[in-house]
């Protein structure tokens, strides 16, 4: 259309250099095996770590909530869209996280926008890990705070940046708890100590740690026994929790300020009853079915061991996020395409999501991926690697 010629040109260029990737459609529910293009394949790309997307208790609560409270809320939280169930979920989340309060947003993405957009002003400096999630980067962009970026998980560099930062009301350090593309864990004990030494405020985004690390999936803060020492935790209800949403767990004053000023809460409609009720049930399931987390870690270890034995490079992962490094962009796409033909869905991840030359196929095990399924997946990986010429170090 006239006026949008540059958009067409950009898309054509992407199609020419094979960086245009159509979205993949699932024709079934989200499980260890899913239907894609009319064929059943092993799902290794979802964040459904604990299999909760299809948990009978969550589904039942969602249906009940629709029956009783309807399909939508008809308002933003701050006007007429706060139902009792929203407040109940937040009370249960705060108790779960051992914090004074919690507040739920439409997604983890909007939770980061709300926290960073509300707590950072031109009087403050934010000190951020260079590989933090896009929603943190965008949240920082919404503010007039000074910015300082430290090298990925490099606590020496963080200390330098903390020393350099003077004359601000707040030094605000922010890091992912688990990094979403490499699956490594932030060195939180050292970061916490540095924040205490330099009087900085610490925020951890535990999207990939929620439901995965810590007792009953309480996250990295609990995993490292740092309860009470990290000021602000953001978590997601969209990954291991299996539904949709983001939450902030923090001291009451922070929660109250977010209720008054958090723009996604003020200007975007609240979660529909089905989502809130399913999330509330999921938090209960986390506490009542810890065996799901045990299975997740058991299968994660099994999968990493098998991949390594077959000579695949899994990078520096310490969590269920397990990349299979290919280096070249093209090799990642080719491996992913061949895998689908061999019966495995594992999406390629390339620049700009990761650095150029660090392309990969990212795999994620869940508590539903039995060793039999993983053995099947490994065979597919070996066949796909051989077909596409990906080197393995056997």
Ligand X SMILES: *Cc1c(COP(=O)(O)O)cnc(C)c1O
108 versus 217: smaller Cβ distance to ligand X: 108
54 versus 353: smaller Cβ distance to ligand X: 353
Q: At closest approach, how far in Å is the CB of 310 from ligand X?
A: 28
Q: Which residue is nearest to ligand X (CB)?
A: 108
Q: What residue ranges bind ligand X (CB under 6 A)?
A: 107-109, 112, 133, 135, 176, 180, 205, 207-208, 236, 238, 246
Please give the sequence-ordered ranges of beta strands (E in DSSP) within 157-215, or none if there are none. Answer: 171-176, 201-205
Active site residue 133: no
Q: At closest approach, how far in Å is the CB of 238 from ligand X?
A: 3
Among the listed residues 86, 97, 223, 239, the single catalytic one is 239
124 versus 176: smaller Cβ distance to ligand X: 176
CB-based contact 221:227 (threshold 8 Å): yes
Cis-peptide, bond into residue 176, ω within 30° of zero: no
Distance CA 166, CA 146 (A): 11
Among the listed residues 46, 102, 148, 180, the single catalytic one is 180
CB-based contact 51:292 (threshold 8 Å): yes
Distance CA 284, CA 97 (A): 13
CB-based contact 43:34 (threshold 8 Å): yes
Active site residue 55: no
Q: At closest approach, how far in Å is the CB of 117 from ligand X?
A: 14
Among the listed residues 97, 208, 231, 304, the single catalytic one is 208
Active site residue 208: yes
Pick the closest to residue 333 from 66, 83, 32, 14 (CA basis). Answer: 14
Distance CA 149, CA 158 (A): 8
112 versus 388: smaller Cβ distance to ligand X: 112
Pick the closest to residue 281 from 53, 4, 13 (CA basis). Answer: 53
CB-based contact 354:181 (threshold 8 Å): yes
Q: At closest approach, how far in Å is the CB of 43 from ligand X?
A: 17
Q: At closest approach, how far in Å is the CB of 209 from ligand X?
A: 9
272 versus 343: smaller Cβ distance to ligand X: 272
Catalytic residues: 180, 208, 239
């Amino acid at each position: 259309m006239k006026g949008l010629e540059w958009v067409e040109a950009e898309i054509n260029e992407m199609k020419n250099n094979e960086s245009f990737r159509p979205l993949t459609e699932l024709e079934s529910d989200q499980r260890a095996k899913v239907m894609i293009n009319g064929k059943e394949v092993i799902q290794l790309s979802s964040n459904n770590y604990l299999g909760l997307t299809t948990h009978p208790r969550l589904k039942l609560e969602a249906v009940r909530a629709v029956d009783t409270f309807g399909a939508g809320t008809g308002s933003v939280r701050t006007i007429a869209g706060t139902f009792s169930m929203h407040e109940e979920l937040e009370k249960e989340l705060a108790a779960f996280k051992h914090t004074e309060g919690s507040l739920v947003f439409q997604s983890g993405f909007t939770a980061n926008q709300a926290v960073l957009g509300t707590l950072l002003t031109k009087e403050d400096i934010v000190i951020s890990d260079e590989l933090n999630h896009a929603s943190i980067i965008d949240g920082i962009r919404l503010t007039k705070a000074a910015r300082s970026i430290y090298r990925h998980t490099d606590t020496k560099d963080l200390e330098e940046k903390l020393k350099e930062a003077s004359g601000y009301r707040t030094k605000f350090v922010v890091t992912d708890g688990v990094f979403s593309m490499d699956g490594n864990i932030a060195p939180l004990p050292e970061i916490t100590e540095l924040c205490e030494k330099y009087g900085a405020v610490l925020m951890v985004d535990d999207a990939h740690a929620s439901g995965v690390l810590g007792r009953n999936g309480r996250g990295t803060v609990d995993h490292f026994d740092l309860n009470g020492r990290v000021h602000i935790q953001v978590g997601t209800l969209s990954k291991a929790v299996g539904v949709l949403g983001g939450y902030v767990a923090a001291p009451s004053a922070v929660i109250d300020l977010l209720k008054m000023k958090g723009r996604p809460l003020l200007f975007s409609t609240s979660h529909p009853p089905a989502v809130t009720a399913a999330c509330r049930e999921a938090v209960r399931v986390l506490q009542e079915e810890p065996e799901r987390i045990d299975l997740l870690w058991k299968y994660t270890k099994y999968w990493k061991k098998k991949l390594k034995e077959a000579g695949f490079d899994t990078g520096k992962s310490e969590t269920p996020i397990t990349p299979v490094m290919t280096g070249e962009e093209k090799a990642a796409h080719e491996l992913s395409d061949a895998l689908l033909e061999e019966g495995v869905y594992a999406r390629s991840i390339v620049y700009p999501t990761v650095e150029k030359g660090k392309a990969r196929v990212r795999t994620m095990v869940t508590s539903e991926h039995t060793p039999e399924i993983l053995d099947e997946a490994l065979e597919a990986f070996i066949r796909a690697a051989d077909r596409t010429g990906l080197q393995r170090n056997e």
